A = this chain, B = another copy of it.
Amino acid sequence: MTRRRLIVVSNRGPVSYGRGPDGERTTLRGGGGLVTALRPLLARHDVTWIASAMSDEDRAVAAESGGALEDTTRDGSPFRVRLVAHDPAAYDGYYNVVANPMLWFVQHRLWGFARRPVVDERFHAAWRDGYEAVNRTFAEAVVEELDRAPGAPVFFHDYHLYRAPRLVRDARPDALLAHFVHIPWSDADTWTAVPAAVREAVHDGLLANDVVGFHTRRWARTFRRAARDVLGAEGERTGVLDYRGRTVRVTHHPIAIDPDEFAELAASERVRAAEARLVAGRPEQLVLRVDRTDPSKNAVRGFTAFGLLLERHPEHRGRVGMLALLDPSRQDVPEYAEYLAAIEVEAAAVNERFGTDAWLPVDLRVADDFPQSVAAYKQFDVLLVNAVFDGMNLVAKEAPLVNERDGVLVLSENAGAHEELGDWAVTVNPFDVDGQAEALHEALTLPAEERRRRAEAIRAHVRDHDAARWIDAQLADLDAVGKGGNT
């Protein structure tokens, strides 16, 4: 395959820099799902990755030599990183007021419109002086990089960057632009949570791309309808939209994981050490959940459902335990801090009601400990993914891949992963705690052969639909635009 020059743009980049004890520059390589999924891209093409400067040292890098450095991924692929420094107040409005909670809450439908959101002058200012301003800074960096590599396709990622494509398009009308949205889309009525000017700007920004991608057919369809309702874009039922004299392809390609990386991780020393500790204390059957403490992940209803399971099916008492490995998330946003408190209350209520000296029903661990999570992936009998809404949910792919007990996946109908894996999962409605309790019981009592059949099917699907395939599909979308890029 020909190497191409490509520009990737995301808020959080693949590396962040610091200073070691002797003043030397140190590199922290991020391991998020996006970085993992894009690794095949970095391995095969010449990528410049534009991202926000996060640390002091990042800002120092951003101030040097045009803010760009040559670096390598963990497995040695070279890439160029360009860090963009933002005014701290602008970044705060962009990140902590507009992107989280507003856009995240709108797109995961977490607002109870009776009381929230309240759109006030703080939001208006954060939109104008934060989100728009940070997107402008990103767009300026993209335009400079395009001038270094004319014709290089640009891949924008996620909900932090809805405005940047329009600003790039205005400056470079012939640029080849693609945007991948990693979270669900909402219908136009839900988008009335923000004033007309804001929701129009969001949709207009995305429609400045040549390709807009989502994880599922469902989110792509919702976006096409919303683009029609909010902006009058034409072509709702087909895969393209016509808007402002241009054609935009709306596609869906589910993000994937790197099976080899997970196999390696699962066999690593750190994971095996964590696994030994887990095995020593594990219940007869282990129900696992691994999430951030984000309200969209729905941990509270999950504990309620687990309590109902123990109430209705006493045979599980003393034998089944729920292990909840929750990474604390965005605790400087009040909605998230409140939700973590509710998680702790609900877990304690189940333990108070059913726990004994010999048995802890809910083992809640709030920490960021990835090796422990992978160890638990190997050990679960039932994995509960009951998200309120979720663009994809990578846990539903990662955990079954490395699981060694033919564990059963209980999966929310509102997780993007359900479009791929629903046939082999026990499906739950995220709001129906009664149904979730029955689904856990069904999963715990599924015959061994059926467990194996389903687990194997999921593993085969996840192995086959890997990150390289996800990347190739997106490059094919770009080629289909007909401009080709600089091959």
The chain A residues found within 8 Å of chain B, CB to CB, are 108-121, 123-124, 184, 186-187, 189-190, 192-196, 218, 222, 225, 236-237, 295-296, 300-301, 304, 308, 335, 339, 342, 388-389, 413-414, 429-435
- Asked whether, in the complex, the Cβ of B119 is within 8 Å of the Cβ of A389, the reply is no
Contact B186 A189 (CB under 8 A): yes
Residues of B within 8 A of A118 (CB): 301, 304, 431, 433
A to B CB contacts below 8 Å, 15 in the list:
A113-B389, A113-B431, A114-B295, A114-B335, A114-B388, A115-B342, A118-B301, A118-B431, A121-B434, A124-B434, A184-B189, A187-B190, A190-B190, A195-B429, A237-B237
Could you list 20 further interchain pairs (A-B, Cβ under 8 angstroms) beyond the known A118-B304, A196-B413?
A109-B113, A109-B189, A112-B115, A113-B388, A114-B296, A115-B300, A115-B342, A119-B432, A119-B433, A119-B435, A120-B433, A120-B434, A123-B434, A124-B434, A187-B189, A189-B389, A192-B431, A194-B432, A195-B429, A225-B225
Nearest CB in chain B: distance from A216 CB, A: 12
Q: Is the CB of B304 within 8 A of A195?
A: no
Residues of B within 8 Å of A111, CB to CB, are: 112
Q: Which residue of B lies closest to A114 (CB)?
A: B295
Q: Which residue, of A110, A114, A301, A429, has the highest number of chain B Cβ atoms within 10 A? A: A114
Flag if B196 contacts A429 (CB, 8 Å). yes
CB within 8 Å for A434 and B301 given contacts A113-B388, A114-B339, A189-B389: no
Cα distance, A113 to B296, chains bound together (Å):
8
Among the listed B123, B184, B388, B429, which residue makes an inter-chain contact with A119, where contact means beta carbons less than 8 Å apart?
B429
- Least CB distance, A303 to chain B, in whole angstroms: 12
A93 smallest CB distance to B (angstroms): 15
**Contact status of A117 and B222, CB under 8 A, knowing A189-B187, A190-B109, A190-B190:** no
* Chain B residues within an 8 Å CB radius of A222: 187, 189
Q: Is the CB of B114 within 8 A of A192?
A: no
Q: Complex formed: what's the CA distance from A225 to B120 in Å?
A: 32
Q: How far is the CB of A421 from chain B (nearest CB, A)?
A: 17
